Amino acid sequence: MENILIFTDGSSRGNPGPGGWGTVVVANQRVVELGGGEVHTTNNRMEMQAVISAIDFLIEYELLTLNLKCVVYTDSAYVINGITKWVAGWKARGWLTLQKEQVQNRDLWEKLSYLLEDMPGDEKIQWKLLKGHVGVPGNERCDEIATAFSSKKTIKLYDGLLSDYSIDIKSISHDAEKSSARSQSKKRSSQKAYSYISKIGGKVIVDKSWQECEKRVRGVSGVRFKKSLSKSDEEKIIKEYSE
């Protein structure tokens, strides 16, 4: 029999803000999608809740009695590092960090740690870090579920045969174009800004600092804003927003 596959993702609109989580469990030739949300939360908490809910599901339906390894795919380094590297030290120090500060999200770390301790056998879970939003089908579907719950939108969750599932869930290959675009976006976000351009109610405004732009756009629905890196980049964005 094949391994149990789990894909997870979490999302929050604001950090903190309304959030959601999604997970897809593939076991015993069946696929089950799970999801949920909270009114006030963080991205890290939703990433953790997705994993906790998946493990809870395996235990509740006794899928672990199949004596299979479980492979968890997540785009959260926070979750993987926490459970594989940090938790043991936190416990030994009474849930304090090396800086003697209280561990954030302790309630969820304790719950996840407890669930994993109850799993039969050794090394039952393999943790796999994915790049997020680069076209991996399982990750993209989990993001879709998480985003729907964070936005309080209706979404139909699948529960049925793997053979009838419309998503190529076993594929972990990524879209090269999406991966490249995401890398460029991350590179751009780390570069020094020349200006910030926003479009509110059809009006395009240029600010020289993020503080000025933030005051204008925060909490406004339908607003667009973007950082420019040079004079020519600014002109390009202004033209884009003016069309």
pLDDT average, residue stretch 5-19: 92
Which residue in 143, 174, 207, 234 is the catalytic one? 143
Domains identified in the chain, total number: 2
pLDDT digits (tens, 9 = 90+) for 99-138: 999 999 999 999 999 998 866 554 578 999 998 777 889 9
Distance CA(158)–CA(79), nearest Å, equals 25
171 shares its domain with 196: no
Q: Which of 145, 83, 152, 143 is nearest to 113 (CA)?
A: 83
Distance CA(32)–CA(156), nearest Å, equals 11
Helix/strand/coil for 181: helix
Domain extent for 237: 192-242
Which residue in 38, 133, 140, 207 is the catalytic one? 133
pLDDT at 66 over 70: no
Does the annotation count 56 as an active-site position?
A: no
Which residue in 20, 22, 38, 75 is the catalytic one? 75
Is the CB of residue 148 less than 8 Å from the CB of residue 20? yes
How many residues make up the chain in this entry? 243
Does the annotation count 233 as an active-site position?
A: no
Quick check: is 211 in a domain? yes
- Percent of the chain at pLDDT exceeding 70: 89
115 exposed, middle or buried (CB, 10 Å; 0-12, 13-18, 19+)? middle
Does the annotation count 75 as an active-site position?
A: yes
224 shares its domain with 147: no
Does the annotation count 9 as an active-site position?
A: yes
109 shares its domain with 221: no
Show which of 147, 175, 203 is a domain's final residue: 175
Distance CA(144)–CA(21), nearest Å, equals 9
pLDDT at 6 over 50: yes
User: Which pLDDT score is estimated for 173?
Assistant: 73
137 shares its domain with 38: yes
Using omega within 30 degrees of 0 as the cis cutoff, is the peptide bond preceding 18 cis? no
Is the CB of residue 50 less than 8 Å from the CB of residue 22? yes
pLDDT digits (tens, 9 = 90+) for 163-202: 999 999 998 876 445 544 555 555 666 688 899 999 988 8
Does the annotation count 107 as an active-site position?
A: no
pLDDT digits (tens, 9 = 90+) for 198-239: 998 889 999 999 889 888 888 777 788 888 888 888 998 898
Does the annotation count 168 as an active-site position?
A: no
Which residue in 20, 33, 37, 47 is the catalytic one? 47
80 shares its domain with 167: yes
User: Which pLDDT score is estimated for 168?
Assistant: 92
Is the CB of residue 55 less than 8 Å from the CB of residue 116? yes
User: Which pLDDT score is estimated for 183?
Assistant: 52
Is the CB of residue 20 less than 8 Å from the CB of residue 59? no
